[in-house]
Structure 1
Amino acid sequence: MSFKVLSSTVAAAVDKELMSTVGFSIDQLMELAGLSVAQAVYKTYPPSTHNKVLVICGPGNNGGDGLVASRHLKLFGYTPTVYYPKHKSSNVLFNNLLTQLKTFKIDVLQNELSNSELKSLINENDQIIDAIFGFSFHPPLRSPFDTIIEHLKQVETSKPITCVDCPTGWDVDKGPNIADLVDAKYILNPSSLVSLTAPKPGSKFFKGNYHYLGGRFISKEMAQKWDIDIPNYPGVDQVVRLNI
């Protein structure tokens, strides 16, 4: 399957329409996105082989997708741990998501970790989910996320890493290795990518083995308006694997 890509500008416009004339709330879209990520992880790295999952969440909606995915992963039989160093404490939606994780007894680390603590946390988990920044990200990376990506770079060839919508550190439209990034130590090369709604232009540079598309919430009429390809989702799945 080869799918049309959606630029960051158009993706933002699509989200805006979904949450206005179409009638979705941000909570609903985040729930569907997080479920898509969890299903993709289950299909690729099941709990029988990769039970301990470190979910690294950023301060925005991409991070919210990661919080939702963590809850579903717990229900799927995993042991997730969430690292959430930048939290919008005044945001009701994110506070509710954190309350849900507490209810399900999922460990959430909200204080920034030292280099040694972060290294140990990464090493003690079987796989990592990068839910730091999505299509609204613009380089360069800033603290503490630059350091986080540096540490993930050290294990990217030995430990599965799944990125939500766009690998953190990439320009969503231009991909990796662009002048704005300056340093290759911030260019993550994950093994798995879950594009949401539609693949973004930067995904053309993805070299991992598993590329999924999630977002079973686009009507045929909306897809036609925005020139979005809708895949044939198998059964009740929220994700479909794309050809690399």
Structure 2
Amino acid sequence: MALKAISPQNAASLDKDLMEIGGWSLDQLMELAGLSVSQAVYRVHPPSSGKNVLVVCGPGNNGGDGLVAARHLAQYGYTPSVYYPKEGKNELYQRLKTQLNNLSVPFVSDFSSALKSTNLIIDAIFGFSFGGPLREPFPSIISEIESASVPVLSVDAPSSWDIEAGPPKEGPGAKFMPQTLVSLTAPKPCVKHFRGRHFLGGRFLTKAILEKYDLDCPQYEGIDQVVEVGVKGERL
């Protein structure tokens, strides 16, 4: 089954439709996104492979997805920690932080040291709305993730990648290729440059939304919120 990619413009329009027409709140969409990410982590890196997970969050909704994923991972028995160098201003993010504080999930300040003790990195820095250029502190952060010796799972798009054109030609992120990518709602055009395990999370879209944006919906198994699909769209 071929899965169509969605442009960043249509992805933004789809989110708007979900909230204005579909009755969804940002909290709900972020919860489902973070849950999908956590399930993908469990698939590719079960706790037996190492419980220490470093979640690197950006200031926008992608970072919020990472905060939700960290909460679920803590409940699954992992030992997550969060690096959140530039916090989002929406009070939703503060509530997500409170939930993590209540689970004793640490927010780390020394990124380089945290990298040395982690078994998996979740890249939740930038999503489909990223348009570049990178601004500090993110170029140095992405360079460190890029050269890390542990596997990386990116949320929606590898951070630093152009959503249409893929990895930058030079500089931070030019050689960034995470082992796993979780596309949310639908793959973004940059997926054609990705070589790794690819999951789709979006088991809540209605038939009307799928038809409006000319999207496909693969068959999710059981109660799973993610389904693994080929990097060129073929179902695995």
Partners of 1:88 and 1:219 lie apart in 2 by: 30
Aligned to 2:117: 124
Q: Which amino acid aligns with 1:104?
A: L
Partner of 1:19, secondary structure, is helix
Partners of 1:171 and 1:177 lie apart in 2 by: 7
Of 168, 191, 194, the match for 1:177: 168
What whole-Å deviation, never above 9, does each CA across 1:146-195 have from its counterpart, x for those lacking one? 1001101112xx311000000000001111134xxx42555421000000
Q: Is contact 2:159–2:173 with CA below 8 Å preserved after alignment?
A: no
Of 154, 160, 177, the match for 1:163: 154
Aligned to 2:75: 75
Q: Is contact 1:8–1:136 with CA below 8 Å preserved after alignment?
A: yes
Runs of 4+ in 1 over 3 A off after TM superposition: 184-187
Q: Is contact 1:33–1:214 with CA below 8 Å preserved after alignment?
A: yes
Does residue 129 of structure 2 align to residue 136 of structure 1?
Answer: yes
Aligned to 1:197: 185
Q: Is contact 1:146–1:186 with CA below 8 Å preserved after alignment?
A: no
TM-score, normalising length: structure 1: 0.91
What whole-Å deviation, never above 9, does each CA across 1:186-234 have from its counterpart, x for those lacking one? 54210000000000000110012x1000011101121011101111000
Aligned to 1:93: 92
State, as a whole percentage, how many aligned pairs show the same letter: 52
State the number of aligned residues.
231
Distance change >3 Å, CA 12–CA 93, structure 1 → 2: same
Distance change >3 Å, CA 185–CA 212, structure 1 → 2: closer
Q: Is contact 1:34–1:68 with CA below 8 Å preserved after alignment?
A: yes
Partner of 1:148, secondary structure, is helix
Aligned to 2:234: none
Partners of 1:76 and 1:11 lie apart in 2 by: 30
Does residue 106 of structure 2 align to residue 104 of structure 1?
Answer: no
Partners of 1:140 and 1:186 lie apart in 2 by: 13
TM-score, normalising length: structure 2: 0.94
Partners of 1:26 and 1:174 lie apart in 2 by: 28
